[in-house]
Structure formats: structure tokens, C-alpha cells
Homo-oligomer: A and B are copies of this chain.
Amino acid sequence: MSEVRVFAPGSVSNIGCGYDVFGMALEGPGDVVTARLVEDGGEGVFSVSVSGDGGRVPTDPARNCAAVAAQAVLDRVGAGRGGRVGVALDVRKGLPLAAGLGGSAASAAAGAVAADALLGGGLDQTTLLECVVAGERQGSGASHIDNAAPALAGGFVLVPPGKPLRIVRLPTPVDFVAAVVRPHLEVETAKARALLGEAIALSAGIRQWGNTAGLVAGLYQEDWELLGRCIDDAVAEPVRARLVPGLEEAKRRALAAGAVGAGLSGSGPSVFAICRGRSAAREAARAIADAFRSEAGVDADVIVSPPSPTGARVLGTSASTRAATAGTGGSVGG
């Protein structure tokens, strides 16, 4: 094939306690990356076009998430050097920027999977995840494996420490549904991370690792009391809350509307609430959006979604006349 179109979903990271370790893929909006083999057009990922971003996403291949991730794939399959393979990317942003919905990770995951499919690389998940992380680092100044992993693999996932990288898919109760509300505010991830500093209180750490353990146990046991108790961030949210006017009221109203737990999605400003069933999630979403309207004077968009079982996926392929793939090396599909 000479052209591949790949979708990757948005995601909620942290889920309360799991800073840098938990993430959940969402149904609904996502980014779409089309990768095209171009003969004699350039070397590696040489061209990027972006739409749906209001002109804010860089099109320089060295600074674009999808392109860096795709180039990492090219490097690993041994293509794209010496002028043998040129790849052009088209990135269509379906996810908002700086929203805390894993937009950079989605672009990177779509870019990596598109490049892998285009080149017939057949890279394993661990290698693809390394490529996604490399790309995502471009977008937000740090690697957020808690968005990269669900964007790539789907589901509710844990990324445990240690090498090689692993994605551990966790089960969720059948009525586990997230309400995700994005107020029309922006928070720069890098700024939100900088607020955290390098050290935390031991007591906060103990709460956090008790909570992550309890959240996993709650998922396996479908123990909603435990889930609610453990969806609680002792580390990141307390210092980030002041970047998101209306957050406390939004959480309060979500819980009052019956949500099991609520918090910032990633570094915000989006807010998630975990609920039992879609109808409860719709209630919570409405309550959160109302809070942002009354407390911060802003409108908000709403997603109601269980963990999306699929992550980055090929939407379509074609053999474009613009790409002549003969002679591009053994690892490249025709």
C-alpha cells in the first residue's frame, strides 16, 4: 500500500491517583493521521500538513508529534534513511489542544501506527509505544505514557515502571462510564507539570500508592466503594487546581449528582467523573458543565464514554498514484 489512514482516540490520564501510570481511552473524538509514501519527495518523514488546529500545531517534521513518532517507526524498521523512503503526513486534529484529553498522544499514536502499517513494519506494542512516547514528548515537553498507552492500545490501562515498557490492560465493570467535560479554558501541560516540583510529602505519596493499589483492586472486584475512595489525587491535583477556575465546584456537583469519583483529566482543564452507567454519566456531565458556566463563566463540551476497547486503528488504505513504492526496500509493502 502507499497510503494509510489511522485514527487514535483521546484519553483521560491519571484517573485521580494514577499520575503517569493510569490512562483510559475514550470513545468519540480523536486525531486522524494519513501517511503517504512519496517517491523522490524527501527522506524520512519530510512533510507534514495539519488541519483542525487553528494553525497552532507545528508542521516542522522535527517538532510535530505525529511526525516524530512516525520517524521513530521508520528508524526502527530500518527505513527512511539514505533517501530510500519518503513519507508525507496529513494530521487532522479532532481533539482540542491543551485540554487534558491526550491530544498530543493521539497524534503520536496515529502517526506511529500509520507509519508502521505503511511500511509493513509489524512492530510489537512495546516498540510502538516507545515511538509514541518519543512523538508525544514533542507535543507537551515531557513523555506522558499515561496518555500514549491508551491512545495506542485502547482500554483502561496501567503502565507499570521498569523495562521493557509494558501496557497492562485492566478490566472495568460493565457499567463503568466516564463523563468528561472540557471547559473552554486552556492549560499548558508543561506549565501544569512545572507547578509540581521535584519532591512531594511522604504522607501524600503513601495516600497515592494506597489509592492506585485500591483502584486496581476495585476494578477487578467491581467494588464501587473502593473505586470511589481511591479516585483521589493527593499529589498533582492539589497544586494544579488553581489553574482551573471552577474545578472544586465541578467536582462537588458531580459527586452530588451521583458520580463515584471525579478529578482533573490529565493536567486539565478537562474534568472527568466516573459513574455507574451512561445515564448517571450524562447527569454528572451536565452538573460539571453547569458548574463551569456558573463559576468560571465558560461553556463546555461533553463526552460520555466507557473505556474505548480499541486504540489507534487503521481506517483505510489505498494505492495512490502519487507513490511509486518499488525499490524502497524489503521492509516496505507495495
Contact = CB atoms under 8 A, between A and B. Distances in A.
Contact of A201 (B166, B198, B208, B230): B198
A170 B210 contact: no
B196 A161 contact: no
Interface residues of A, number: 44
Contacts of A154: none
B20 A210 contact: yes
A304 interface: no
A209 B18 contact: yes
Interface in A6-29: 17-22
A40 to B, nearest CB: 46
Contacts of A220: 216-217, 220
Contacts of A47: none
A159 interface: yes
A256 interface: no
A300 interface: no
Interface in A218-268: 220, 223, 226, 229-230, 232, 234-235
B206 A21 contact: yes
Given A211-B161, A229-B162, A197 B205 contact: no
A66 interface: no
Interface string A175-208: 0000000000000000000001111111111111
Contact of A161 (B21, B199, B214, B217): B214
A97 B243 CA distance: 50
A213 interface: yes
A158 interface: yes
B158 A210 contact: yes
A168 interface: yes
Contact of A20 (B162, B199, B206, B212): B206
A168 B209 contact: no
A42 B20 CA distance: 57
A78 interface: no
A132 interface: no
A205 B207 contact: no
Contacts of A200: 199-202, 205
A101 interface: no
Interface string A265-294: 000000000000000000000000000000
A202 to B, nearest CB: 5
A160 interface: yes
A22 B226 CA distance: 15
A210 B166 contact: no
B197 A202 contact: yes
Contact of A216 (B162, B203, B217, B234): B217
The CB with the most chain B CB atoms within 10 A, among A197, A205, A208, is that of: A205
Contacts of A212: 209-210, 212-213
Given A200-B202, A200-B205, A202-B199, A210 B160 contact: yes
A178 to B, nearest CB: 18
Interface of A: 17-22, 158-162, 166, 168, 170, 196-217, 220, 223, 226, 229-230, 232, 234-235
